[in-house]
Structure 1
Amino acid sequence: MVDQIVLCMCSWATWLDIAMVITLCALLMMGFPAAFTLAGVALVFGLFGLAVGAFDPAFIADPFPIRIFGIVNNQVLLAVPMFILMGVILERSRIAEDLLDTMARLFGGMRGGLGLSVMVVGALLAASTGIVGATVVTMGLLSLPTMLKRGYDPGLAAGSIAAAGTLGQIIPPSIVLILLGDVISNAYQEAQLNQGIFAPETVSVGDLFAGALIPGLVLVGLYMTYLAGMALFRGRTSPAVPLEERFEFNEAIRAAWRTLPAPLLLIVAVLGSILAGKATATEAASVGAIGALLIAGSRSAVATGWPKRLSQLGLAAIIALIVLDGSVDLRLGRAAMTTTEHIGVSIALVLCLLLLCGVLAAIYSLARRHMFRPVLAKTTEVTGMVFTILICAALFSLVFRGLGGDETIAGALAATPGGKIGALVVVMVVMFVLGFFLDFIEITLVAVPLVAPALLTLGIDPIWLGVMMAVNLQTSFLTPPFGFALFYLRGVAPPELRTAQIYRGAIPFVGIQIGMLILLSLWPDLATWLPDQLYGDS
């Protein structure tokens, strides 16, 4: 009898890796916390595998502490809390509200103008914050009541806001792209080592940012084309703003000058420094966080008097430092420096002192308005969640591989009809479905590391794969009835807006997203051309 039980347990041991994934998905869909579910499932299946002789504890005894140290010490992942801080500051300082109001008054005079304004601001916020939930909620609270009041079709209004909010998934700098960049980089190196390449090439977050930029802008263009078409052929769905609520031309120019330069400069400073190779994602993220802080401190709604003026001087110092760095070699510790370089370094030190004073003034202003503590609390909360999931996902991954899961996935994908294209389609469909139930962090940190090495071993370009996954997740988060963006919007939508209307409005944008995936499939150069031009072959 005992022998039969042992034999039965050993036969089950070959399915432990599959059962582990199924159990994890079931528990996550039931609403259990992602991080502790990952760790709990890993420990339970690891102990069971150990009991039946299917798991070697050496898979976690030494590698797991090293993994934890690697996560905490990872320079790329340091960008995550910085970009989160940047997004939270911009959200709490009501910059998005001013942008929406200005753009709506500028373009509201033509049919479809409000919808186009929402899309432009959504793209700006995506490039400034990279946080989908915050963008959808902010734009839903500010724009949706106005669009409904002005006679917009409820479905079109809801769909355009949800679609604009999801642009934070694909337009860099994006938290999704940062996490995907780190995961894809590790998977690409692992795939090359499996192929016997012991000097593997690397993929950076900057590569993925560059790869996602053109598809993101194309997607914005497709969204705006659809909105313009609706305004042209079905004008009743998107009427113009009444004449008395529009800006005069001079007033419009002044309003645009007050609101647009700050976020545009922030985008140029962050994204431009990465794409130009002047800064890593982490360094650019710190510039973005400081820039957002200074922009908030420069606003009349946040600061007045000397704190406001110091914050404005800090902003000017950042711009001057960027210009100075592009024209003079500011590296210290060199044996020989020209007179011009000595002067440049001296000026840079003065500008750094001004920048420090501006940051302290902005912090003082935010603290006096009782905004600084909530900003730090929200940033800490989201950052803690991300890194806890990272550590628990590392434990899950090690146990899964110890149970033979990586061989199972590689074998299944290799046996998929259609070769690497068939394998890619299967993975994309699975990720799309997972996006209905799991957050992008969970999918990126749990599902992608399991399948990416096998896909990259088949010869798929890593940058193209990362961009395809990001667009796929964005599509999933917009698709009824489970799309996360729709849930966020439903939570802040007026009661008179029915859920069915939100779903109906989102469907055309889902079609555009699917069209974008098809375009990327047919023309991979959309994702790979810019990285090749900027950095050479990746």
Structure 2
Amino acid sequence: MAEWLPLILFIVVCLVLMAGFPVAFSLAGTSLLFAIAGVLSGTMDAAFLSALPNRLFGIISNQILIAVPLFVFMGVMLEKSRIAEQLLRNLELLFGPLRGGLGFAVVLVGMLMAASTGIIGATVVTMGLISLPTMLKQGYNPALASGNICATGTLGQIIPPSTALIILGDVLSSSYQQAQLKMGIFSPETVSVADLFVGALIPGLMLVMGYLLYMALVALFRPQAAPAVADRPPLSRRFFLQLLQGLIPPLALIIAVLGSILSGIATPTEAAGIGALGATVLALMYGELDLKRLKDVMDATLQVSSMVFMIFIGAALFSLVFRGFGGEELVHSAFSDMPGGVLGAMLVVMLVIFLLGFILDFIEITFVVVPIVAPVLLTMGVDPVWLGIMIAINLQTSFLTPPFGFALFYLRGVAPDTIATRTIYKGVIPFIMIQLLVLLLLAIFPQLATWLPEQVYG
């Protein structure tokens, strides 16, 4: 019975999360109850819990994690400055005469918002409020329009600077150190968040191209589902000036943030500071910054950052108790005996993460599943950057997979009542297939994730 306690702990945590309890307290509370029962019954050594204070201090003092509130501040500030709204309307006018043009505009703006804000909820809600009524008015298929907006909104999960990649990078870094110690290697080398950022660029662009290609194919073979805009006003020089005015500021911010990371001028945390300052300057330039808006941005940043760090603390306790029950050895034994070796282990992990995406969100999966499986996979010789990108794209599907995909909830909240929930669910299925296709290509060609970091950082 004792050897199955790690699996029982994992299942109970998942059930508590599915019941709707807060993630941080579900992880910490369930783990603490199991730990107390384990110590009293003699199935767990109480010495394991003595390592908890050091773990918590490591979380609070981790300089990489300072990037989380800074990037959140940057994203919320850009959302409030309404730069995306202006850019979206201008691109809709520009691409409107093309069949599928409104869909192209949504994908391109979603890509820019992902690279400048990284906040999925803000992207989906903004495009849902602005683009969805326009697309429906022009005769777009409701399922196609809904799926396009939901899928494009999730690009903030993989296109850097992504808060999800920062969190995943920190979890993988801890797992990498555990794997090295287990192999008897004592090295300060860790999984760099910058490596994940660079490694995510090509897969992120592949997703964008996949969405654009799908919209083009629909427009070609089902023109009635993605018609051209017939009543667009003539374009003037003033329009193109407005287009550049809305396009250049976010591009400049993206170049400043990502460029400083890729060139080695700044760490991800320092680049996050650049982004937060740049977003504030842009909001000031657009006349969208006042004390009330600044207070709203700071309140939202505090709420999100507090949630993330509380989850970190709960996850640290869960990981400690799981290892205290011998969970790491159980997982390693299961993977070692699995047919197919490393390939079979990776296939099982990717399948489990994909299935859990139907019922849990990416934060829960990152903190519950990744610390369990990553050390074992890294011990088996899996490249940490490739593993991180594979997990990130797989987790991206958790925003789209019914019934609990958060992007679906965000769009449902702003979509008109004429669009049924099942229509939204139907619309995201082709885009989930595109994400799985990119995941398959990454599995076959790991160089898609590892080549660029090797070229940039040697």
TM-score computed with the length of structure 1 as normaliser:
0.83
Q: How does 1:262-411 map to 2 (within 5 A)?
A: 262-300=249-287, 302=288, 365-367=289-291, 370-411=292-333
Post-superposition offset of 1:499 = 1.5
Post-superposition offset of 1:395 = 0.9
**Structure ranking higher on relative contact order (CA contacts 8 Å, 6+ apart):** 2
1:77–1:179 CA contact under 8 A, matched in 2 = yes
CA 247–262 in structure 1, closer or farther in 2 if over 3 Å, else same: farther
Q: Please state whether the residue corresponding to 1:15 is helix, strand or coil.
A: helix
2:357–2:401 CA contact under 8 A, matched in 1 = no
Instruction: Name which of 190, 209, 221 aligns with 1:233.
Output: 221
Instruction: Name which of 244, 256, 261 aligns with 1:257.
Output: 244
Instruction: Give me the whole-angstrom Cα distance separating, in 2, the residues matched to 1:512 and 1:383.
Output: 31
Q: Please state whether the residue corresponding to 1:501 is helix, strand or coil.
A: helix
Q: Which structure has the greater CA radius of gyration? A: 1
Instruction: Give me the whole-angstrom Cα distance separating, in 2, the residues matched to 1:257 and 1:224.
Output: 22
Q: Please state whether the residue corresponding to 1:246 is helix, strand or coil.
A: coil
Superposed CA deviations along residues 81-135 of structure 1, whole A, max 9, x for unmatched, are: 0000011111112122111111111111211111000000000000011121221
**Counterpart for residue 319 of structure 1:** none
Post-superposition offset of 1:205 = 0.2
Q: Please state whether the residue corresponding to 1:460 is helix, strand or coil.
A: coil
1:480–1:503 CA contact under 8 A, matched in 2 = yes
Instruction: Give me the whole-angstrom Cα distance separating, in 1, the residues matched to 2:401 and 2:359.
Output: 12
**Counterpart for residue 57 of structure 2:** 69
Instruction: Give me the whole-angstrom Cα distance separating, in 1, the residues matched to 2:402 and 2:362.
Output: 17
Instruction: Give me the whole-angstrom Cα distance separating, in 2, the residues matched to 1:222 and 1:13.
Output: 48
Instruction: Name which of 35, 42, 47 aligns with 2:31.
Output: 42
Q: How does 1:369-518 map to 2 (within 5 A)?
A: 370-518=292-440
Post-superposition offset of 1:233 = 2.0
**Counterpart for residue 149 of structure 2:** 161
Instruction: Give me the whole-angstrom Cα distance separating, in 1, the residues matched to 2:448 and 2:311.
Output: 32
The one-letter amino acid paired with 2:23 is A
2:87–2:109 CA contact under 8 A, matched in 1 = yes
Superposed CA deviations along residues 207-256 of structure 1, whole A, max 9, x for unmatched, are: 0000000110111011101111111221111112233x335142331121
Q: Please state whether the residue corresponding to 2:64 is helix, strand or coil.
A: coil
The one-letter amino acid paired with 2:290 is L
Instruction: Give me the whole-angstrom Cα distance separating, in 1, the residues matched to 2:250 and 2:342.
Output: 41
Post-superposition offset of 1:479 = 2.4
Q: Please state whether the residue corresponding to 2:113 is helix, strand or coil.
A: helix
1:106–1:252 CA contact under 8 A, matched in 2 = no
Instruction: Name which of 202, 205, 211 aligns with 1:217.
Output: 205
**Counterpart for residue 333 of structure 1:** none
1:106–1:246 CA contact under 8 A, matched in 2 = no
Instruction: Name which of 109, 124, 128 aligns with 2:97.
Output: 109
Q: What is the count of residue pairs matched by the alignment?
A: 458
The one-letter amino acid paired with 1:33 is P
1:106–1:247 CA contact under 8 A, matched in 2 = no
Superposed CA deviations along residues 351-392 of structure 1, whole A, max 9, x for unmatched, are: xxxxxxxxxxxxxx421xx21111111110000000001011
Instruction: Give me the whole-angstrom Cα distance separating, in 2, the residues matched to 1:68 and 1:109.
Output: 56
Instruction: Name which of 13, 16, 20 aligns with 2:2.
Output: 13
1:109–1:246 CA contact under 8 A, matched in 2 = no
Instruction: Name which of 165, 183, 188 aligns with 1:195.
Output: 183
Instruction: Give me the whole-angstrom Cα distance separating, in 1, the residues matched to 2:85 and 2:377.
Output: 43
Post-superposition offset of 1:200 = 5.3
1:82–1:289 CA contact under 8 A, matched in 2 = yes
1:16–1:49 CA contact under 8 A, matched in 2 = no
Instruction: Give me the whole-angstrom Cα distance separating, in 2, the residues matched to 1:382 and 1:201.
Output: 30
1:192–1:200 CA contact under 8 A, matched in 2 = no
The one-letter amino acid paired with 2:264 is G
2:361–2:398 CA contact under 8 A, matched in 1 = no
1:179–1:445 CA contact under 8 A, matched in 2 = no
Q: Please state whether the residue corresponding to 1:117 is helix, strand or coil.
A: helix
- Which deviates more from structure 2 when the two are superposed, residues 180-189 or residues 26-35? 180-189
1:125–1:168 CA contact under 8 A, matched in 2 = yes
Post-superposition offset of 1:69 = 1.1
Instruction: Give me the whole-angstrom Cα distance separating, in 1, the residues matched to 2:191 and 2:16.
Output: 33
Instruction: Give me the whole-angstrom Cα distance separating, in 2, the residues matched to 1:273 and 1:446.
Output: 32
**Counterpart for residue 453 of structure 2:** 531
Q: Please state whether the residue corresponding to 2:186 is helix, strand or coil.
A: coil
Q: Please state whether the residue corresponding to 1:373 is helix, strand or coil.
A: helix
TM-score computed with the length of structure 2 as normaliser:
0.98
Instruction: Name which of 164, 188, 195 aligns with 1:176.
Output: 164
Q: Please state whether the residue corresponding to 2:339 is helix, strand or coil.
A: coil
Q: Which runs of 5+ in 2 are unaligned?
A: none
Instruction: Give me the whole-angstrom Cα distance separating, in 1, the residues matched to 2:82 and 2:216.
Output: 28
Q: Which runs of 5+ in 1 are unaligned?
A: 1-11, 303-364
- Which deviates more from structure 2 when the two are superposed, residues 421-430 or residues 437-446? 437-446
Post-superposition offset of 1:202 = 2.2
The one-letter amino acid paired with 2:392 is A
Instruction: Give me the whole-angstrom Cα distance separating, in 2, the residues matched to 1:399 and 1:292.
Output: 41
The one-letter amino acid paired with 1:37 is S
Post-superposition offset of 1:184 = 1.1
Superposed CA deviations along residues 49-102 of structure 1, whole A, max 9, x for unmatched, are: 1111111111112x1111111111101100000000011111112122111111
Q: Please state whether the residue corresponding to 2:20 is helix, strand or coil.
A: coil
Superposed CA deviations along residues 260-285 of structure 1, whole A, max 9, x for unmatched, are: 01000010001111111111100000
